[in-house]
Amino acid sequence: MTVAPLDLVALRTSIMDRTGVTNFAAVGINGDGSHDKGYHLGVLTIQRKGNYPDNDYSTTQLRDRVGADYASAMDVTLEWIHGGRSAAIKWSNSVVATRKSGLLPEIRAINYMDMQGRKRRYDSLTNTDVPSTDSVDIHTHIEWWRNTEGHRLSSFAVLLNLMDQSIPGAIAPPQPIGDDEMTFYRAPTGSVYLSIGGALVSLSSLAELNAVTPTPTLVNLPQSLVDRALAAQAPEVVNVAVEATEDVIASTLESERGQVAIRGAVNYEESH
């Protein structure tokens, strides 16, 4: 059965926060019963349907024959509470323009409604923008290459920034500052990573911090979740914001609480 990967679930939460959408089904990841093919389905599901690899466009490329049974697409409703349909359509067009410019390489394709109200599909594999039969009059459909799972946080940051720019009067979530503020991602396997500047850095190789670009910008979650980071039964994902400067990152990691958090995370990883 196809499941939603951790990184797309986190992206959906950020999208819903910005757009004001409250219905999870309006930002869909997993394919329902009407989906026989495509990136909303995981590779194992496509195999069970008998379409793997060459009878499903989403598994014809070698880089798409991975990912177990994780979905690799998202449908974002056009019915935004903040900004409305006009902002949603502006956003999808800006995503397409950005992808065409060579950025967002993690994205394979976008099905969208252009500014003239026409249904379109841009596919980076063929670099073509053609008419689409997808229901893009109600949502924008984004497909990520399957082998980018866990390595596409930088593309998420771009998507969310474009979203902020598309919503009139939008204000990006605040970035709290403090010596105990960090961001940890814990995978279902128990592996723990620090998120810096859209990159996931293993706690076993913190020296990589010096090579991370662009300037770090991270997302903050409620303090109640932060407090649980050091608890015995920590959640799968722990997010704590960090100030966007290298010297503050360094001092944060070197602080007493920072060292306690890192030791706790490493101990968790080694014991699972």
pLDDT for 270 equals: 39
Give per-10-residue mean pLDDT for the chain (272 aa): 91 92 94 82 94 96 93 97 96 95 94 96 97 93 95 87 86 38 46 46 42 36 38 37 40 52 45 42
Kindly state whether residues 160 and 254 are assigned to the same domain.
no
pLDDT for 231 equals: 41
Residue 25 lies in a domain: yes
Kindly state whether residues 152 and 192 are assigned to the same domain.
no
Residue 69 lies in a domain: yes
Q: Which residues contact 136 (CB under 8 A, 6 or more apart)?
A: 92, 111, 112, 113, 119, 120
Residue 12 burial (CB count, 10 A):
19
Structure tokens at 241: 């914001």
Kindly state whether residues 130 and 217 are assigned to the same domain.
no
* Domain range for 226: 184-270
Nearest alpha-carbon partner for 109 in 131, 124, 91: 124
Residue 171 lies in a domain: no
Contact 156, 163 (CB under 8 A): no
Kindly state whether residues 254 and 136 are assigned to the same domain.
no
pLDDT for 67 equals: 82
Q: Which helix (H) or strand (E) holds 264?
A: helix 256-270
Kindly state whether residues 255 and 122 are assigned to the same domain.
no
Kindly state whether residues 111 and 144 are assigned to the same domain.
yes
pLDDT for 49 equals: 92
pLDDT for 77 equals: 97
Alpha-carbon distance of 143 to 107, in angstroms, equals 6
Number of domains in the chain: 2
Kindly state whether residues 124 and 245 are assigned to the same domain.
no
Contact 35, 73 (CB under 8 A): no
- The helix/strand/coil state of 235 is coil
Amino acid at position 87, single letter: A
Three-state SS letters, 21-70: CCCHHHEECCCCCCCCCCCCCCHHHHHHCCCCCCCCHHHCCHHHCCCCCE
**Given 3-state DSSP classes, what are the helix, strand and coil percentages for the chain, each rounded to the nearest 5?**
40, 15, 45
| Cα first-last separation, the chain | 25
Alpha-carbon distance of 242 to 40, in angstroms, equals 33
**Confidence (pTM):** 0.65
CA atoms within 13 A on the CB side of 97: 10
Residue 175 lies in a domain: no
Angle between the N-to-C axes of helices 153-166 and 6-19, in degrees from 0 to 180, rounded to the nearest 10: 10
Residue 56 lies in a domain: yes
Tell me the per-residue pLDDT of 85-126, one tens digit each, with 9 for 90 and over: 999 999 999 999 999 999 999 999 999 999 999 999 999 999
Residue 162 lies in a domain: yes
Contact 202, 142 (CB under 8 A): no
Quick one: how far is CA 14 from the chain centroid?
9
Kindly state whether residues 34 and 162 are assigned to the same domain.
yes
Q: Is the sign of the CA dihedral 73, 75, 80, 85 positive or negative?
A: positive
Region for residue 198 given its phi and psi (left: phi exceeds 0; alpha: psi -120 to 50; beta: otherwise): left
Angle between the N-to-C axes of helices 256-270 and 246-254, in degrees from 0 to 180, rounded to the nearest 10: 70
Angle between the N-to-C axes of helices 153-166 and 84-100, in degrees from 0 to 180, rounded to the nearest 10: 140
Kindly state whether residues 235 and 115 are assigned to the same domain.
no
Residue 177 lies in a domain: no
pLDDT for 105 equals: 93
